[in-house]
Structure 1
């Protein structure tokens, strides 16, 4: 049980890190109006 919950927590951390890197890759500086990028 302890290992299972630990694995789930580690998986969540990895998913969070991947999401952060994806957002950083998709991030574009807002040269246009903010309404257009939203």
Structure 2
């Protein structure tokens, strides 16, 4: 476990975001309405 007080670097946050979006490619192409359906089925 990392020591408290150390925050993730911006690069780490960006990598996490990229990984998340890579898992849901359809969401990037979805319309706002469709995105709401995906997030709140």
Question: Per the shorter chain, which TM-score range?
Answer: 0.3 to 0.5
Bigger proportion of residues as helix: 1
Query: Which one has a bigger Cα radius of gyration?
Result: 1
What is the TM-score when the length of structure 1 is the normalising length?
0.43
What is the TM-score when the length of structure 2 is the normalising length?
0.41
